Structure 1
Amino acid sequence: MPFSYKPLWHLLLEKDMKRTDLLNEPGLSTSTLAKLGKDEYVSLEVIDKLCTYFGVQPNKIMEWKDGKTNARV
């Protein structure tokens, strides 16, 4: 996966929150939380909810990982 949500998990630690806390206030589903935990794709709506809830830019939620695949651009 080319994206990592490690910044989100660090943000949760800073705020003394657990992953399951994201189910209540920002209103994420359990399946979305599982996708985030596996660094799978989520919609921009989810990223928007998280950015709005924490009052941060997307780079505080996710980061791009260089996959270095043989894909052509």
Structure 2
Amino acid sequence: MAVCYNKLFRLMIDKHMTNAQLVAKAGFSANIITRLKNNEYISLESIEKLCYAMDCDVDDILTFREKENGKGN
């Protein structure tokens, strides 16, 4: 299974939040945004910070999907 963060980016649009604003509010590095955009692994601690910053639950920001052609971490 792989993780997809498209729901997070839709939520950011709905809340008119930029990447820079999310980084500042969640308190993590810009590298996390890059990892999210590439649907790469981030720590549970970072997911917790995202949920707190976005005032949402985990299922509001990510979905699980099948790996395609061996891709997806």
Which TM-score tier does this pair reach, normalised by the shorter chain? Answer: 0.7 to 0.9
Name the structure with the higher helix share: 2
* C-alpha distance in 1 between matches for 2:31 and 2:68: 28
TM-score scaled to structure 1, two decimals?
A: 0.83
Number of aligned residue pairs: 70
Moved more, 60-69 or 2-11: 60-69
| Superposition CA RMSD, Å | 1.9
Moved more, 4-13 or 53-62: 53-62
Q: 8 Å contact 2:22–2:53 — kept in the other structure?
A: no
TM-score scaled to structure 2, two decimals?
A: 0.83
Q: What is the DSSP-based 3-state SS (H/G/I as helix, E as strand, rest coil) of the residue aligned with 1:16?
A: coil
What residue is the counterpart of 1:65 in the other structure?
A: 65
* C-alpha distance in 2 between matches for 1:31 and 1:39: 12
